[in-house]
Amino acid sequence: MEALDERIWIADGGTVPFFTLPYSTRMTVVKLDDGSLWIHSPIKLSADLYQALNELGDVRYLVAPNHLHHLFLEEWQTAFPQADTYGTQEVIAKRQDLSFTGELVTKETYPWSQEIHQVLFTGSPVMQECVFFHSPSQTLIVTDLIENFSPDAFNAWQRILAKGTGILAPNGKMPIDWRLSFMCRKQEARAHMLHILAWQPKRIVLAHGEIIRDNATAFLKHSFSWLKV
């Protein structure tokens, strides 16, 4: 795992196919004040990762932030039976074979709320995503809200597709299909983005693509210029 700050780490997993593109995967680990671990968008669990986490702390919370980020939940629940699992309404409906402790929404108190803030990004009939902000490290944590793939991740025709979709670094955005689905409720999405900007993040961790390590606010304003923020 790579340490980003005193109590936040990332771990990169393998790729998964999505719309003919090889999507890289990444999870985020936060160590809370009580020593427990909060795991965002779990990747495939390897023996080395399992050992590293057990040395770091007690895996207490598993978070599935949207209905596309659920592939490895079952193996994590088996490996860490003491952990509580949280997901959006959509992922809970999709994975009725799994047990969830609670639903991710905006206006509710969670065990991590003093350190990690959140907003449910809604306004699209296609997908909703719970977006998180780790206040001590000023880190914004997203999955598909922004995708920012390195050109080196794709072959020539895949790069053309990724650029057309708007997910090619250094100008990564929300994928165009999801972006267009907000057209009827764009003001709702704009309110969510203004909420996120008010957090004033200094970095952005993405599940897919290159991390934004500085100038995060400027990147967000450029990436979401379609919302006129």
pLDDT, one tens digit per residue, over 117-149 is 999 999 999 899 999 999 999 999 999 999 998
Q: Is 179 helix (H, G, I), strand (E, B) or coil?
A: helix
Q: Is 36 helix (H, G, I), strand (E, B) or coil?
A: strand
pLDDT, greater one: 86 or 21 = 86
Give the pLDDT band of residue 154 (cuts 50, 70, 90): confident
Length of the chain measured in residues: 229
pLDDT per position as a tens digit, 74-95:
999 999 999 999 999 999 999 9
d(CA 213, CA 14): 22
- Assigned token pair, 61: 């919370």
* Residue 206 pLDDT exceeds 90: yes
Q: What is the mean pLDDT of the chain?
A: 93
What local confidence, expressed as pLDDT, does residue 139 receive? 98
* Residue 202 pLDDT exceeds 80: yes
Give the pLDDT band of residue 153 (cuts 50, 70, 90): confident
- Spatial contact of 122 and 190, defined as CB atoms under 8 Å apart: no
pTM of the model: 0.93
Give the pLDDT band of residue 17 (cuts 50, 70, 90): low
Can you say whether residue 146 is alpha, beta or left, with left for phi > 0 and alpha for psi between -120 and 50 degrees? beta
d(CA 155, CA 142): 25
Of the candidates 9, 79, 20, 89, the residue with the CA atom closest to the CA atom of residue 44: 79
- Spatial contact of 148 and 158, defined as CB atoms under 8 Å apart: no
How remote is the C-alpha of 14 from its chain's centroid? 16
